[in-house]
Chains A and B, each alone.
Chain A
């Protein structure tokens, strides 16, 4: 049982490039979330989804786009990457929007 996986685990890109981070969960959880984790800021919510085709903004959505055509997948796209988007990105899923289960993270560096 894989649970929740993220890919790639590490990514280096350049300013202005488009980058997509993938998230896949095998629990059929309704809710999925994207967070970024930075020193001094803790975990901050970027976007979340309550079900397929339903998404909503979190605390720091600017510069990011999400989609959810299938329950199990929740990709996060940086349309034009900036250095300030260098961070560790975590995907999470939840059945009830209470306890969230996190993936292993993607470490993104924007040069």
Chain B
């Protein structure tokens, strides 16, 4: 069936480095994508979104890239900080249904 998945389940980086978290999706009808951050013991927190008519969108220290040709989504975090340590989920929407990936654990070492 249709699914959203992640290439890397864990990612460890040094403070100050840039982080890239990847996500593959299989539903070509997906028209909206979201990245969420979930810290331990908390609910998922919206980070940034992108619609399928865009290739790139930037926020504060974060950038989402969408490659529809290969059905790939990535989240780039600039100057990663210890407070960025969390699980990051991608999610895609198709016909109003939101489907979540399994998540990538990002660990930032001081």
CB-based contact A42/B46 at 8 Å? no
Please report whether the interface of chain B is mostly helix, strand, loop or mixed according to DSSP. Answer: strand
Q: Which of B21-29, B63-71, B75-83, B96-104 forms contacts with chain A?
A: B96-104
B45 CB–A CB distance under 8 Å: yes
Say whether, besides A97-B96, A98-B93, A42 and B101 are in contact (CB < 8 Å): yes
- How many residues of B are in contact with the other chain, CB < 8 A? 18
A74 CB–B CB distance under 8 Å: no
A55 CB–B CB distance under 8 Å: no
How many A-B Cβ pairs are below 8 Å?
Answer: 36
- How many residues of A are in contact with the other chain, CB < 8 A? 14
Q: How far is the CB of B74 from chain A (nearest CB, A)?
A: 19
A105 to B43 CA separation, bound complex (whole angstroms)? 6
18 A-B pairs with CB atoms under 8 Å apart are A42-B89, A42-B100, A42-B101, A43-B44, A45-B98, A90-B43, A98-B34, A98-B49, A98-B98, A99-B34, A99-B46, A100-B46, A100-B98, A102-B36, A102-B44, A104-B43, A105-B41, A105-B42
Chain B interfacial positions (CB closer than 8 Å to A)? 32, 34, 36, 41-46, 49, 89, 93, 96, 98, 100-103
